[in-house]
Chains A and B, each alone.
Chain A
């Protein structure tokens, strides 16, 4: 392990994560058709050389289904996390800079959203929007911004009191100038890390809401669907239906986590120069 220094290891981690995620996405999107093909002549096959993840009761190839499901999840994760982070950034900064009333209102909304369990709110929003891709993306996006917004708000409040910002203000720079030139560059690392760490959350919540039947529709190869269908067949000993998709889901979530942590190490002033 001593061949590479810490920084190189971190960079290696990032490269590995990106390759893994890209591979899942690319194979997933290539398999859009294949993931839906049913063939009753090959139903309920245990993992073998040809179908390394086995097949399900409709004769669908579980490997293609899993990859497609994960790529859908990653897409939802990216869409939802990006939207969520944008909301968090705007609200966080607004809360910290636009005076007491705005701060009180936004803080109240943050508390409100954080006070309700995510999954409940997510189900409500998803069902209200007619389920499907749209419902899940908006649902995840609207429930996940609160903690990041709170973080940014705290950061901005702290920054506001720091000498260089105070001096800039005394020099007559506009608020917008200060926010653009001084605050956002300082916030960017936390923001990016927060954004990346939202992915695993979004993915897990997408799959659980779909698992519970409030998300994507059953003919779609979403990972939540794959797992909930497998529940019915576990009792008959068809372990492969749940095991491999489950492991890959955990792996994807972990990879995102590694990515976020590595980025933090690279960007965080405390460790950036190691």
Chain B
């Protein structure tokens, strides 16, 4: 009996040890804090900010490998850019003193300032600019530079971009590509970046933290915050760090938003970090082992019914604890957003559309038409609890109008291929209209010649976007981007083809230490990381 008791005890301890052991890696090491405590009551000019582990740039701080100009766009801090996006996401100048585009849209001429130096003392010239862009074109795998033919330095302060095709939104690209020094660039640049930006990267402990210090020779306004420490950790660790008072800004998620932490306030930022799912618009067909299209969602009436059959307000309340805004497009609140996109929740109308289209309710409450059941699988990235909750809520809501949705967690290794035939919960949102192009424009040389991520194609929509890229000014292009969404007769909105359903923009939430004034934020794009520190140089302590 005693032996057995010991054995049972051992089992418990082992099982406990197993689980505890598994839990360990989630904890992040205590940040290496040295001089923060000693600053005491003097005016502080340092901040410690947490970011998700996915924000750590794997290939270093090199724009050619996605720093700033990657999947998640943001200002590169270490380097400076030719242009910048303003508060309302139009374009302003930074390194560029002036820029213009030729009549045919094929040559952009940019005059740059002549008073800018890299932090190693060398002046920043047009050669560096040309080198940066040619290098990005050659190496970048995360950002598209195919419209650029070649960048040429005409003299020390003038650079010309020769394009392969007109690209009116080029200034948005210029706003995220940090200029690197040609003389100090090699394959290790990402590890020890040199730039002309507001901050210098002082130290990078991979998997833990990056420390930035203010650039004393910065050509613009002097940064008010002299030292920025960025710690990479998961949300639960960030919350724990805030509870322990170790960080000044901790990123967090809606599910933690009800936590009250002494000495911290919740800070929310409006975003265009949207979530939505694709609905393949063609009948199923196979090519190269991948199925394209979905029999149920290929009916436009089904897509319209789904779009108005979802109560976005309730979803935001349920899933995001109210920290979000309804999304109707991939570009809500951007200068190129077309208000026609907006729809009201109307389940009765949704049911009427389905009835009229011949989708009749069966015995189990699920609709059917010609032997096709009104059902689909909605996939979500299996490590993302917000997307999972959105998928589950979508399933619950669509059941009300007679559509059966099964949810499934998948890895990104299979998600892209499967999304060609089944809806997937995506996250998008960027400070460039190019996102519309990426999602809705057809690509003739990929898959079955339809849009890249989900089968869809509309000649008129394509034409407007092509024209928008050829437009002679940004203002003109905004108008064409809007027309691509809805021109009065066709488009990608409710009255149009509605190939994607957008649900909500997820607010970016942070716990901020009392006394820290975070400067006014631009609408954040997708990615809960670097956008916050775009203007860290203007933050202040009270």
A interface residue numbers (CB < 8 A to B): 38-40, 43, 57-58, 131, 200, 204, 208, 211-213, 217-220, 227-229, 231-236, 246, 249-250, 253-254, 257, 261
Contacts and interface: CB of A to CB of B under 8 A. Distances in A.
A131 B408 CA distance: 13
Nearest to B25: A212
Contact of B385 (A57, A204, A257): A57
Contacts of B410: 217
A57 B383 contact: no
B16, B392, B408: most-surrounded residue (chain A CB, <10 A) = B392
B26 interface: yes
B519 interface: no
B259 A236 contact: yes
Contact of B11 (A43, A211, A232, A254): A254
Contacts of A213: 382-383
Closest 8 CB pairs of A and B: A218-B409, A40-B318, A218-B382, A38-B392, A217-B409, A235-B236, A219-B409, A250-B15
A232 B15 contact: no
Interface in B1-58: 4, 7-8, 11-12, 15-16, 18-19, 22-23, 26
B235 interface: yes
B211 interface: no
A129 to B, nearest CB: 13
A213 B409 CA distance: 11
Interface string B369-400: 00000000000001101001100110110000
A92 to B, nearest CB: 25
Given A200-B11, A208-B19, A235-B243, 17 more contacts: A58-B392, A204-B15, A213-B382, A217-B409, A217-B410, A218-B388, A220-B409, A231-B23, A232-B236, A232-B255, A233-B255, A235-B256, A250-B11, A250-B16, A253-B15, A254-B12, A261-B4
A80 to B, nearest CB: 17
Contacts of A246: 19
B319 interface: yes
Nearest to B413: A130
Contacts of A232: 235-236, 255, 385
Nearest to A213: B383
Contacts, number: 81
19 contacts: A38-B392, A40-B396, A200-B11, A204-B15, A208-B22, A211-B19, A211-B22, A218-B388, A219-B407, A220-B409, A228-B22, A231-B236, A232-B236, A235-B239, A235-B243, A236-B259, A253-B15, A254-B11, A254-B12
B439 interface: no
B91 interface: no
B89 interface: no
Nearest to B255: A57
Contacts of A211: 19, 22
A213, A217, A218: most-surrounded residue (chain B CB, <10 A) = A218
Give the secondary structure class of B's interface: helix
A38 B396 contact: yes
B297 to A, nearest CB: 20
Contacts of B395: 38
A217 B406 CA distance: 13
A227 B382 CA distance: 15
Contacts of B12: 250, 254
Nearest to B389: A58
Contact of A253 (B11, B319, B409): B11
A214 B20 CA distance: 18
B310 to A, nearest CB: 14
Contacts of B383: 213, 218
A211 to B, nearest CB: 5
B448 interface: no
Nearest to A13: B4
B18 A204 contact: yes
B18 A236 contact: no
Given A213-B383, A218-B409, A233-B255, A40 B393 contact: yes
Given A57-B385, A57-B389, A233-B255, A257 B22 contact: no
Contact of A219 (B240, B256, B388, B396): B388
Nearest to A41: B318
Contact of B408 (A43, A219, A249): A219
A235 B408 CA distance: 27
A227 B385 contact: no
Nearest to A203: B15
Contacts of A235: 236, 239-240, 243, 256
A246 B15 CA distance: 9
A58 B388 contact: yes
A89 to B, nearest CB: 25
Nearest to B238: A235
B26, B236, B243: most-surrounded residue (chain A CB, <10 A) = B236
Contacts of B15: 204, 249-250, 253
Interface string B410-451: 110000000000000000000000000000000000000000
Contacts of B258: 236
Given A200-B11, A219-B408, A261-B4, A40 B319 contact: yes
Nearest to B243: A235
A217 B382 contact: yes
Contacts of A57: 255, 385, 389
Nearest to B414: A130
A137 to B, nearest CB: 19
Contacts of B16: 250
Nearest to A229: B385
B18 A208 contact: yes
A219 B411 CA distance: 12
Contacts of B235: 232
A253 B12 CA distance: 9
Contacts of B389: 38, 57-58
Given A229-B385, A232-B236, A236-B256, A257 B8 contact: yes
A217 B393 contact: no
